[in-house]
Every structure is written in structure tokens, then in C-alpha cells.
Structure 1
């Protein structure tokens, strides 16, 4: 498996720019984070290159994060802002060599504020723009438990979306935590959606910590992913229960420099058989 460190969730013990080196030391070959826009792209590229890391996915600008924005895609009044956001995302992805851009749907407080037709049209515009540069557009189903009032909140809606946009450059991001939060079987969902899956993220359920701290059978999940032929990146988007490195012990067999992780110290209680 190819595991990528989510630098928004992991290695928070150090400032953001120091997390690249820590991720590489732990054995990661890929990293991801939603927003590169608060940093000089040249500085980010230098950190990636210095540490031999691939940037595997970013998100398009989500709007005003301080106001709780998690995307602008379905809002008719924000179409022009949205168009600027996907161009900004493309510019950064091309410069940083990132092959996937996650276009988040957005938080919808009132149903009247959003439009399905606008959502589809905006996503189609992103797919056309990104695919011209060889970049995949990702969308993610987020559960009401994990992200209240998120617009793309079910796989039924996702199926409707993929029926309307049949371009293979539109793919789904599957997050094990959100799948479990929706009351769905993670392995069955992966099996059903794998042909349209461009990225997977992992976190245990119910507390969204590292694998082995909750109820999800990650041994079976990893075996199933391999059996289904998925060979893309798997992002570690979880909140470490303790410090990041100690919490990586469960994933050590899948990381290149696993000897770094096998020192004495904190180890979560694994519930996987």
C-alpha cells in the first residue's frame, strides 16, 4: 500500500513546515493537506523535494474558513468566486506536481441557498479545467456526524452525480470514518465504489483516531483494498490519540522506515482480529 500523511491531522506536534521532514522520517512517501494557499508555493515545493515526498492531493479553496465554509460548489451567488477558486487550485497543483484536487461541496444551512443544477455545472467545469492538465477531480461524501449540513451527504447523491457527470476524470474520495458514520459496511462500500475511487482516507470509528483504536476491521479493509486491485494512495486522515509517531505503530508494516516506529512507548489497543 501507498500511505500518505495528512499534514493537517498528523505531526501537529511541530509547525506545519516541519511536518514534511517528520513524515518522511516516519517512512511516508506521500503527503496531503487541503490548503496550500497560506504558504509560498516555492517553499512547499522545496520541502517536498528535500524530503522526497509526493503531494498526492489538495483541496480547492473552500471560501471563508473562519466563517465555517467547506466549499462553494452548489451556491448560485458564489459562482464567480468558485470559478476563481478552481483556477487557483489548478495553478498550485500544477506547480507542486499534485495529480488530484478535491472540490468540496460546502455547508448548506438553508436548502434554498443551494442548487443541484449549479453544483453539477460547477463540478463539470472543474473536471474540464483540471483534466486538461491531467489532474483528477475528487468529490467526497461526508456524513452528518462528521460534517453536519454538508451538501454531498450520501452515496445516493453521489450516484446521482456520477450519473450526470460520466467523465472518468471525476472520481470519489472514500473516507472510512464517514462511511462508518453513515452506518455502511466499509468493505462493501469500497467494493461497490472502487471503479470510481481516486483516493481513500482512513480513520477508525467512532472517535476518528488511528486504525486499531475503534471498531473498524482494518486488517480486512486493507486486504480487501489490495484484492480489489486499488493501487493508489491511502491518506491517513485521523486525529492521533497520543503523539503521532507512537500512534503509527499499527501502520508500521506499511511504511518504508518502520523501524523508526517500533521504539518502546505508547501503543493503541488494537481491536482488529
Structure 2
């Protein structure tokens, strides 16, 4: 399976954001996509009214687009937050309140990948306390994901843009994946391999693919520098996706890049026909 055979989905939290949320699935479908992914759309609420969840489900259905990836509640994203599950107090409580809401919504729309962003380090809090809380919450999330037939994803971000986020390398994220799987015995925790973030950390991407393709449950891409569409920077993304396919990865590749000054619909010219 090479670049030409990859299954691409479009992230509706970074592309088509010039449109209201409920209009984005149809815009993605008009651009040729049958699959989309989302950060948690209700940044201020881990438990939005059921009517709002139903409206998003109806918009996805009407557009004929499948949701293939969804973040659990992660605080203000985009914004200062990078997750909630390791943050003691109110944010951790909000994450827990969101677990079943997100899982049940995922099941209702056929989404089988749920991304749990770890959360930033908090000044004055022992990192070991945060890590213990994180594992506790990730175990709950993994069990909820398993209940709805989904994979739990753990993502590495990048240190320059997320200096307080502790998982800023592939090995750091993989360590958490392994801890969650050991704790639950379910084996449904996987690595979210975001090639943009890993490149920003200066990691050797071919080595990361060789080492961790088998533990990868989802891939996201953007070019570097700039986080734009493939071809706007220097990353050999076609070559890297070829390598992923040859390593046996046959999951979705999320387009999580910025369209820049042009309309989102004009940012897909690099894609194979």
C-alpha cells in the first residue's frame, strides 16, 4: 500500500473553519472527501445538549461523510490548553464527565478512534501526581472506547508550540500507550502519529515509522515549516506515507493543516486524483 492508496480524511477543526460547524461536512464532501475528523467541537462544554450532538450527527449523515476521528474534551483547543486528563481539579472532572458523552456520540456516528490529549504540566504540581491521574483517566477512557468498539489514541505534540506538554516525542507517547494497555488488558490504546509534530521535535521520521507503525492507530499530516498543505514545506510526505503503507499501516491519514489565505477547498491540489 503506497501513497496513492492511502485513505485521507479532512480535519474539520482546522480546515473549512471559514464555515459554521454544521456546514463543514457538506463542504468536505463537495471537495471529494467521504471521511472527516474533529477536535472536540464544544470547547466550553464537555457535556453539550443532546440536540447539538444530534445536529452534528445529522449534518455528517446528510453530507454522506463518516467521522473517523474525534478528540475527547481537551479544554480550549485551539488555544492555551492541550488536554485536560492530567490536570488536577476541575479540568480532570470535565474530562471524566465527557468520556461517556464522547464515546456514545462516536458510536452513534460510527467513529472508531477517540483521541485523548494528555494535558499540560501545571506549575506547583508534582509531575508524578499528574501522571498517576492521567493513567487513571486514560484507563477509564480506554474502557469507554472499548465499550463502543473504538481505539483510544495517544498523541505526541511538539515542544516549540506546546512547551508545557510532556509527550513531545514518539517514545514518550508510546510509553503511555503501553502503560494503558498493561493496565486495562484491552490492547485498544494506540499511537496517534502526527508527522508534523514529530518533525517539529526533530525526530527521525523514517525511524519512527519503522519502530512504531505497528502500534499506530491514526496518522495526521501537515508540511513543515508552516503547517501548511503538503508541498508548501520541506517534509517528504509522499515518501513517508509510502513507507507507512509498506510497514503495514492501512488506517486513515488525517489532513490537519492550515489552508493559509486561500479557501480550504483550494488546498487539496497535491492529492492524487
Match of 2:88 in 1: 76
TM-score (norm 1): 0.85
| Partners of 2:170 and 2:198 within 8 A in 1 | no
Provide the C-alpha distance between the structure 2 equivalents of 1:237 and 1:113, rounded to a whole number of angstroms.
33
Provide the C-alpha distance between the structure 1 equivalents of 2:78 and 2:98, rounded to a whole number of angstroms.
17
Aligned pair partner of 1:223 in 242, 246, 253? 242
Number of aligned pairs? 253
Q: Identify if the C-alpha distance between structure 1 residues 117 and 190 changes in structure 2 by more than 3 Å, giving closer, same or farther.
A: same
Aligned pair partner of 1:54 in 66, 74, 98? 66
The alignment partner of 1:210 has SS state of coil
Match of 2:3 in 1: none
1:35 and 2:40 correspond:
yes
| Partners of 2:174 and 2:191 within 8 A in 1 | no
Provide the C-alpha distance between the structure 1 equivalents of 2:41 and 2:110, rounded to a whole number of angstroms.
13
Q: Identify if the C-alpha distance between structure 1 residues 163 and 61 changes in structure 2 by more than 3 Å, giving closer, same or farther.
A: closer
Provide the C-alpha distance between the structure 2 equivalents of 1:73 and 1:91, rounded to a whole number of angstroms.
18
Provide the C-alpha distance between the structure 2 equivalents of 1:225 and 1:53, rounded to a whole number of angstroms.
25
| Runs ≥4 residues deviating over 4 A | 64-67
Gaps in structure 2 of 5+ consecutive residues: 1-5, 43-47
Match of 1:211 in 2: 230
Provide the C-alpha distance between the structure 2 equivalents of 1:159 and 1:218, rounded to a whole number of angstroms.
22
Deviation larger for 152-161 or 182-191: 152-161
Q: CA RMSD in A?
A: 2.0
**Equivalent residues in 2 for 1:1-40 (5 A)?**
1-37=6-42, 40=52
Match of 2:98 in 1: 85
Deviation larger for 192-201 or 30-39: 30-39
Shift in Å at residue 129 of structure 1?
2.0
1:247 and 2:267 correspond:
yes
1:120 and 2:105 correspond:
no
Superposed CA deviations along residues 64-91 of structure 1, whole A, max 9, x for unmatched, are: 5598333221233344333212122112
| Partners of 1:9 and 1:238 within 8 A in 2 | yes
Gaps in structure 1 of 5+ consecutive residues: 259-273
